[in-house]
Amino acid sequence: MLGIVIVNYNDAKTTKRLLDNIKDYQILDKIVVVDNNSTDNSLKELKKYNKKKIEIIENKKNLGYAAALNIGAKKVVEELGKCHIIFSNSDVIINGEDSLLELSKTISKKIKVVGPTIVEGTNLNRGWKLPSIRDEIRANVPILSRRWNKELLYGEEHYEKDISIVDVVSGCFFLVDSKALEAVKFFDEKTFLYYEENILAAKMKKKGYEEAVCNKVVILHDHAKTIDKNYNSLKKYNILKNSQEYFAKEYLKASEKDLKKIKKYRKLYTLLKYRKVEEEEK
């Protein structure tokens, strides 16, 4: 059994494109769209898709991405029982239901989370290494952070086989075994928009489960279209860094000294990078 969960926020046009893409897929037993209290006409538009296989859930307030994923996942489990669940951004394009079958077949006794190769423009987004507290501190250092972040990526040779074990898969599109998701108590709802995949990976690793990339499956992603539409760059940065600090504290067990370093570099990075942006967006 296979279900898919999609979160919508003020982006019915893109969500409808995905629904039109997948609504006739025989492999999908349940499609759940969670509308996270959109302020436009999204809910009205999406309700036109309501039928037995497709269910639109209305949140009365924007609970954040992780909480919306949990609402959708629990609805899928309620109806399908033990199953596989795909979590997808609305701004993806799936090239046929065989891709979903291939992802589902990758789940095994050890592998409980699997993602595809994701094409974002000219870039390939696959897996990365679970960061340490040192990595999270360095990610805030102006100028050098981008170079250091690349150290968390695996080399091309890592993806030469059909299936590659990774620490973390991209959060824009991935599949999870429902029993493993229940075992780690679903997604942590104390983040709003970012770090869900790192946190899920840390929880899966603690349980002894693995994550993998199925290199034969390719998904297209119009990267961050919905996020860019609803949040300016400074607000996105602050949401990201709030999630980073939570991840560092709760899952990397960062010391107070480490957290102070993250905050210090965050403040400096904001001053250097976003002063001009903030002025332009006023």
**Binning pLDDT at 50, 70 and 90, where does residue 273 land?**
low
Reported as a single tens digit per residue, the pLDDT across 177-214 is 999 999 999 999 999 989 999 999 999 999 999 999 99
Total structural domains in the chain? 1
Give pLDDT, residue 29: 97
Contacts of residue 27, defined as CB under 8 A and 6 or more positions apart, other chains included, come to: 2, 97, 100, 101, 104
Half-sphere exposure of 140 (CA within 13 A, CB side): 26
- Identify whether the C-beta of residue 112 lies closer than 8 Å to the C-beta of residue 213: no
Whole-number pLDDT of residue 187: 98
What average pLDDT does this structure show over 3-24?
Answer: 96
Question: What percent of the chain lies above the pLDDT cut of 90?
Answer: 78
Is 166 or 274 the better-scoring residue by pLDDT? Answer: 166
- The number of C-alpha atoms within 13 Å of 256 and in the hemisphere containing its C-beta is 0
Is a pLDDT exceeding 80 seen at residue 232?
no
Span 29-73, pLDDT tens digits: 999 999 999 999 999 999 999 888 999 999 999 999 999 999 999
CA distance readout (Å), 243 to 49, 57, 128, 191, 222 = 33, 25, 18, 5, 23
CATH of the domain at 137: 3.90.550.10
Banded pLDDT at 86 (limits 50, 70, 90):
very high
pLDDT at 225: 53
pLDDT of residue 230: 57
Question: What mean pLDDT do residues 243-260 have?
Answer: 96
Token match 């990526």: residue?
Answer: 153
Name 31's Cβ contacts closer than 8 Å, sequence gap at least 6: 3, 4, 6, 19, 22, 23, 53, 54, 55
Residue 238 has pLDDT above 90, yes or no: no
- Environment class of 147 (CB within 10 Å of its CB; exposed 0-12, middle 13-18, buried 19+): exposed
Phi, psi angles (nearest 5°) of residue 118: -110, 125
Which pLDDT score is estimated for 182? 98
The pTM of this model reads 0.92
- Distance between CA atoms of residues 177 and 60, nearest Å: 28
pLDDT at 94: 95
Is residue 274 scored above 70 in pLDDT?
no
In this prediction, residue 148 has a pLDDT band, given cuts at 50, 70 and 90, of: confident
Domain that holds residue 70: 2-281
Strands 127-128 and 84-88: unpaired
